[in-house]
Structure 1
Amino acid sequence: MTQEGYITRDIGKADDLAYYLAGDSRFSKQTMAIPENVATVYFGEAIRIVEHLHEDRHLISRLYKEFINQVKLRGRNEEKIKVATKQTYKKIGYFPNIELDHTGIWLASVRGACYTVISAF
C-alpha cells in the first residue's frame, strides 16, 4: 500500500522509534501467547485461504496491479473504482473461484492469511 501511494506516513525505523518512546524504560519486544485451541482455528483458516488461492497467486497479483493502475487513472471516487474493477475483470478474462468485495476486506483477509502463515513457520 505504501508503494502504491495509499499509505503516506513514514515512521522510519520501528526499533529506533520504540527505543525513543521507551525513554528511560527498558526496551523489549513483545510476544503474544494465544491459547492452543484458538491458535489451531486461526492458523487452520489462514492455511486454508492460502492453499485455496495459491494456484491463482500470479493472476491475483496481476489483477491487483491492474486494479491499482485503473484507480490511479480514474481517481479514488467509489463509482469510478467500481468501473475500474469491472474493466479489470474483463481484461483478465479468467477469474479464480474467489469472492471479492469493494471494501478492501477481501484484500485484508488474504494479506492477513499470508502474513499469518509466513509468521507461523
Structure 2
Amino acid sequence: MKNMFRRIYNLRCPSCNALQGPFALGSTFKGGISRLAINKSSPCVGCHQRLRLTPRHGFGKTILLQVCAGLVGVAAVFLICIPLLVMAVGQFGVWGLVSWPFIIMLWAVISATISGKFGPYVREVQIV
C-alpha cells in the first residue's frame, strides 16, 4: 500500500530521482490552507540528502490550486462513491451497507490520485 501511494504522488529526489514517501515529505510542506510544517526536512530514501516540499507558486495561486483539487475530490465522491453505495443498498438492501469500507478505500485512492495529479503544480521537492 505504501509503494502504491509513493507511485501515485510521484515525489522524487532532485539529485538521485528516488521515489520519496509522501507522508514524511508532506509534513515538511509549508504554504497551504491549513498545512503547517511539522518537520524542517526529511531524509531522501536513496541518497540521504535532506529534502523539503516547497510551494511552486505564490500563496494565492497555491490556495486556488488546492481548492480546485478539493472540488475535483468532492465531485468524485458525489459522482462515483455515493452512487456505488446507493446501488449496493438498492441491490442488497441493508446488507449493501457492508460495502461502505470498500467505498471509503476507493475514495482514498481517488483522493490520492487527484492529489498526485495536482501535486506537481502546487509543490516541488528541494534539497535543503
TM-score past 0.5 threshold:
no
Larger Rg: 1
TM-score normalised by L of structure 1: 0.32
Greater strand share, 1 or 2? Answer: 2
